[in-house]
Homo-oligomer: A and B are copies of this chain.
Amino acid sequence: MDSAVVLAEAAHAGFATHALSFDYGQRHALELEAARRVAEHLGAVEHRVLALDLRAIGGSALTSELAVPKGRREVEIGAGVPVTYVPARNTIFLSLALAWAEVLGAEDLFLGVNALDSSGYPDCRPAFLRAFEELANVATRAATEEGRRFRIHAPLLSMAKREIVLRAEELGIDLGLTHTCYDPIFAGTEGLACGRCDACLLRLRGFREAGRVDPLRYADPPAG
């Protein structure tokens, strides 16, 4: 959902968009198919999927056999970095996006991180984004020889999930195309959102607070 909104924001601001997804061994690899649908829906020039097996590094419930926490209360979700944290994930993803931007001749990198209403990941915070922008501008030929200046855009950084749901509506995004769940439940070939991991709970709360109905199908329909 956040990636879809940030892609739409970039297009809305007039950028030709090149979308990058990562096949990193995540248990919710279903999101890659959703990303393809969303990129097409939102008119991306191109959608590329980069393979990078972070299971070789491990350390996260998203890339190993560690269990994804379910049914946590809001006070728990906000407290500390959870086991779904993937070590240095956004550093790795932004590095690869930077490489592609350098090849494309692009200077503007967008990502859908969200510091409020999130799970407290360190690499979803303003200090991280500023440090990466500094790095990008000394790490590349584009910046050091060609005078290009990279900018990291995170337009959702300070938005609540409620605001993201409403912004998606304004931008005309079909959120039924998106995928959020960390631990989808398979019913035949269809992957249903579990409704109980942190990602589902935060999404559902966003819809509830926005007074909207989530178009996704959930294996475990939320109460209320």
Q: Which residues of A contact B (CB under 8 A)?
A: 48, 50-54, 56-59, 80-81, 85-92, 95-96, 98-100, 102-103, 121-123, 125, 127-128, 131-132, 134-136, 138-145
With A and B bound together, what is the CA distance between A85 and B48 in angstroms?
Answer: 22
B-side contacts of A102, CB under 8 Å: 59, 87-88
The answer to whether B131 touches A87 (Cβ under 8 A) is no
Taking the closest CB of chain B, its distance from the CB of A206, in whole angstroms, is 24
Q: Ordered nearest first, which 4 A-B pairs have the shortest CB separation?
A: A59-B103, A88-B99, A87-B99, A87-B102
Taking the closest CB of chain B, its distance from the CB of A63, in whole angstroms, is 10
B-side contacts of A92, CB under 8 Å: 92, 95-96, 99
With A and B bound together, what is the CA distance between A139 and B134 in angstroms?
Answer: 13
Chain A to chain B contacts (Cβ below 8 Å), 9 pairs: A50-B56, A59-B102, A87-B99, A87-B140, A88-B96, A91-B99, A91-B136, A122-B138, A125-B138
The answer to whether B132 touches A128 (Cβ under 8 A) is no
With A and B bound together, what is the CA distance between A96 and B53 in angstroms?
Answer: 11
B-side contacts of A96, CB under 8 Å: 57, 88, 92
Task: Using A58-B103, A81-B145, A127-B138 as known contacts, list a sample of 11 further A-B pairs with CB atoms less than 8 Å apart, ordered by residue number in A.
Answer: A50-B57, A59-B99, A59-B102, A81-B141, A87-B100, A88-B95, A91-B95, A91-B99, A122-B145, A123-B140, A132-B135
Q: Is the interface of A mostly helix, strand, loop or mixed?
A: helix
Closest to A121 in B: B141
Taking the closest CB of chain B, its distance from the CB of A21, in whole angstroms, is 12
With A and B bound together, what is the CA distance between A89 and B59 in angstroms?
Answer: 23
Q: Which of A81, A96, A145 has the most CB of B within 10 A?
A: A96
Q: A134-B134, A135-B128, A135-B135 are in contact. Are A88 and B57 (CB under 8 A)?
A: no
With A and B bound together, what is the CA distance between A163 and B80 in angstroms?
Answer: 47
Closest to A58 in B: B103
B-side contacts of A144, CB under 8 Å: 81, 122
Taking the closest CB of chain B, its distance from the CB of A35, in whole angstroms, is 15
Closest to A145 in B: B81
B-side contacts of A128, CB under 8 Å: 135, 138-139
